[in-house]
Chain A
């Protein structure tokens, strides 16, 4: 295992008004690995992701990138570090084509004018590099794509920028069997290319299929972060539903004590 994780969070706290959503959450993601982030509804997965992506500022705790403490206060800060987030609701504009979406907010320009040719080349190269062969033309409108293709475009958008960490928020939630398989293969390829991939999923089959490590959140606390090969399906279910499983997990099942992972 590499000495320093690409992304590391230490004792992160986050409250919305009187409601504390994240309690002393520690989390890390290594290059070349898929780290699955699991947890029941309301466990704080999405909040944690938004903290990583700079959408929510963190209340306290350390955000370390490649071992160095950083301050991430906006999506631009996160993108500047090389942290890209692919959100559940995709964040693609239906009325734009694939190239336009992949470069949205970061258009290549020549003077004042958009450099369409360069953007089209780079988009095509990125899709080819990810072995995406399902898209007919990069000038297709996103509205005409299937769910799996949209997810592919959203992921390709995230890796276009030589990013180091890619966080995928339930990328397979709305997909059929074949499409899920294709997206999971893409997720694995990202990690094999040396990126740190964080995969959020409710589907434990997906998690066990592609992940190297599993981090389980329970009621806003990190119940455990373990190697996938060290745990069974049933143990992960227990971690998700009660925060502990045998020696693993929170010391006290109600999740009100400190982390002991």
Chain B
């Protein structure tokens, strides 16, 4: 206490950029590495795969990355909520399978319109989350056990819904479009422009509001750098995706941003808003950081925990719909095999802590990109599924190791 800098009121005005950079470096050195490993991993992996297999960088493969990684990324986004509480949902993979099966059965066997089938699928997801959450929060069974049991049970439910092993194909054009169609190039640019303008406007509006009240705010130059960085990355992505990818463009043209991309961006913005800007999101972090403190602060801890499981399973349902769309069908293994571990891996690789209290929805997207790149790149290299599993498992272990080490380091420097 006595060694701290003496300052009565908070700093006012804008601090120079150099102090922001220094602050960031201090945080990294102190163990708060955030998404840095994921971004570095992404750069390294992409470089290696591009050198070994130039086809990795082709427009067609770039678009593939998004559609391949979409389902896992969306499931991982939901898992972030459960991980933030220091819990785990091992059933998210097969929950997505159950929801996809519900969708397929209603669409194909019962002829429901696509929107009601999707609603039913999402409601199924929410219901699954409600049951899991109540068992964890009200009964006090560890989430690991509850969701491990659910993992097994849901596998059985998918089998039963699929009539013991047959698969159900999906013929609804709207559902199929989600993972297989693209938005027109012009619309892609328009969405990018609107998104960037909105991002810049929100940042500037916030900074101005804080400066006008005499609080510290990010300098305009820092905001400009941030917006410019996003603009360059997103702009290049949209440009590449708007190139013709079809081998035979006259017969069938294939260009534009895959529909899953704006879908993921909307989910990312929406959930980030919930976590960062609402009292509910604040309470999720608080319960993950100190459950007893949250209870004493009057937060309904049980309700927060149950709702987090509901968000997780509902997002799994969205992931299930995307997976069904991409595969054009649902089979007993939808949401099975590696889906769950890829999703948990995505969240953790992105920087979400397995110990709770730390993580962002963006982590799931960055980590999902890493997982998709590994899966895709190793496929191009001709490695078998076995090797892919081993490598992804090692990467997950590496990410969890970085998480544990950064916690230790943070504890040593007194940051956590």
Contact = CB atoms under 8 A, between A and B. Distances in A.
Interface of A: 55, 75-76, 79, 85, 87, 89-96, 100, 104-107, 109, 112-114, 117, 120-121, 124, 128, 133-139, 141, 143-144, 146-149, 152, 178-179, 182
B407 to A, nearest CB: 11
B414 to A, nearest CB: 6
A93 B7 contact: no
Given A94-B416, A134-B4, 9 more contacts: A76-B298, A93-B289, A113-B278, A114-B279, A117-B209, A128-B9, A137-B7, A137-B10, A147-B1
B1 A148 contact: yes
Interface stretch (B157-165, B224-232, B280-288): B280-288
Contacts of B277: 112-114
A114 B415 contact: no
A51 to B, nearest CB: 15
B294 A105 contact: yes
Given A104-B286, A137-B10, A87 B296 contact: yes
Contact of A100 (B7, B282, B299): B282
Interface in B1-15: 1-2, 4-11
Contacts of B297: 91, 104-106
A138 to B, nearest CB: 5
Nearest to B410: A143
Contacts of A182: 1
26 contacts: A90-B293, A91-B296, A93-B286, A93-B289, A93-B293, A94-B290, A95-B289, A96-B286, A104-B297, A105-B298, A107-B282, A112-B277, A113-B278, A117-B215, A120-B10, A121-B215, A133-B6, A133-B8, A134-B4, A137-B10, A137-B11, A139-B10, A141-B416, A143-B414, A143-B415, A144-B415
B282 to A, nearest CB: 6
Interface in B322-379: 357-358
A92 B9 CA distance: 22
B340 to A, nearest CB: 26
Nearest 8 pairs of A and B residues by beta carbon: A105-B297, A93-B289, A95-B289, A148-B1, A95-B357, A91-B293, A93-B290, A105-B298
A122 B140 CA distance: 38
B416 A143 contact: yes
Contacts of B279: 107, 109, 114
B293 A92 contact: yes
A76 to B, nearest CB: 5
Interface string B9-30: 1110000000000000000000
B358 A95 contact: yes
Nearest to A131: B8
A144 B286 contact: no
Given A117-B210, A143-B410, A135 B289 contact: no
Interface string B180-196: 00000000000000000
A92 B1 CA distance: 17
Contact of A94 (B213, B289, B294): B289
A129 to B, nearest CB: 10
Contacts of A91: 290, 292-293, 296-297
A117 B9 CA distance: 14
Interface residues of B, number: 38
Interface string B397-416: 00000000000001000111
Contacts of B358: 95
A92 B278 contact: no
B288 A95 contact: yes
A148 B2 CA distance: 9
A73 to B, nearest CB: 13
A89 B295 CA distance: 13
B29 to A, nearest CB: 13
Contacts of A136: 4-5, 7
B9 A124 contact: yes
B318 to A, nearest CB: 22
Given A133-B7, A134-B6, A104 B288 contact: no
Contacts of A112: 277-278
Contacts of B283: 105
Contacts of A149: 1, 4
B213 A121 contact: yes
Contact of B298 (A106, A114, A138): A106
A178 B2 contact: yes
Nearest to A136: B5
B10 A104 contact: no
A253 B416 CA distance: 48
A92 B415 contact: no
Contacts of A179: 1-2
B299 A138 contact: no
Nearest to B277: A113
Nearest to B7: A136
Nearest to A141: B415
A93 B1 contact: no
Nearest to B209: A117
Contacts of B4: 134-136, 146, 149
A55 B154 CA distance: 40
A96 B10 contact: no
Given A121-B213, A136-B5, A104 B416 contact: no
A204 B368 CA distance: 58
A3 B70 CA distance: 70
Contacts of B285: 93, 95-96, 100
Nearest to B279: A107
A134 B209 CA distance: 27
A128 B293 contact: no
A112 B281 CA distance: 11
Given A107-B279, A135-B4, A95 B416 contact: yes
B296 A128 contact: no
A149 B410 CA distance: 18
